[in-house]
Amino acid sequence: MRVLVTGGAGFVGSHLCDLMIAKGYTVVCLDDLSTGSRTNIQHLGTSAEFSFIEASVLEMVDIDGRFDGVVHLASPASPFAYLDRPIFTLRTGSEGTRNVLDFAKAKSARFILASSSEIYGEPHLHPQSEEYWGNVNPVGPRSVYDEAKRYAEALTTAYRTSCGADTGILRIFNTYGPRMHSDDGRVVSSFIDQALNCKPLTVFGDGTQTRSLCYVDDLVQGILAMLETEDPGPINLGNPMELTVLQIAELVIELTGSLSPLELHPLPQDDPTRRRPDITRARDRLEWRPQVSVREGIGRTIEWHAEQLRETRRRERAS
């Protein structure tokens, strides 16, 4: 298969490109590098089956040749990133998704939308199943991301029902692992960065809000499984093991051996207090479930961040 991955130089996208190349796919990675990085994909440059195009999905996507699949990951995902560029985020979810859908339709390629658990907002149903319509504040600060994903889902569905496009929708829950920016505001990377630098771990609210953490290697297996089916979705991808933010902080402190204290801060507006996916559909339709335990995954992620920190310090001493 020849597949286009938009946002392929980002955190999730680069891991998906790795998996596809390992499976024998031909991969074209398209990324504007607004949140992605060439560093994430530089090791793939030696593969004849991998190519990179620096471009934005806000422009018409025009790439020669046959394509069997398109995985649309292009979007800011870090709260810091999408709150800093709200209009760009909304345009990426709307105009960008339409451009990529048009490309997939023209190529008769299967299109996979990477949506988000954020479409559920502050949920009244727990755990969240795909039948739940969500509870999103459309004028809150986080709405630029939430509504961008909700619109992208509606647009993808319209292309399927009105144009006969082969589409699938995935709703991705909290994901973590190597290559996630240490300063992007998401809980695991933030805690690890603070612990390794002997800084207080910033806990918003009272720490009893929950997250369900899925290791990135597990997640991309689920994305690939969706690409290889004809299922329209939506399908949740995430780890149903639910932890409080305090439990995550304590695990990071334990695994890093840090003496960092916890520091409580007010909970940001519309920050969800509960997150846990119902993955019945993923198990039944994709034969997918997460394999990496949270302890093992956070341990691997700490090792990666620690190596990045050592490399940064080596460069600083050398200069």
Catalytic option among 145, 159, 176, 215? 145
Lookup: tokens for 120: 């559920």
- Separation of alpha carbons 40 and 28, rounded Å: 14
Angle at 151 between CA 56 and CA 118, to 5 degrees: 95
Q: Are strands 210-212 and 242-244 parallel, antiparallel or unpaired?
A: antiparallel
Question: Which residues are within 8 A (CB) of 308 and not within 5 positions of it... i.e. 6 or more apart?
Answer: 182
Q: Please indicate whether residue 145 is annotated as part of the active site.
A: yes
- Report helix, strand or coil for 272: coil
Which residue pairs from 80-84 have beta carbons closer than 8 angstroms and sit at least 24 positions apart in sequence? 80/183, 80/184, 80/185, 81/35, 81/184, 82/144, 82/145, 83/141, 83/142, 83/144
Residue type, 196: L
Cβ count within 10 A of residue 298: 24
Q: Where are the extended beta strands (E) located within the chain?
A: 2-6, 26-31, 50-54, 69-72, 110-116, 167-172, 175-176, 201-204, 210-212, 214-215, 235-237, 242-244, 262-265
Q: Active-site positions?
A: 145
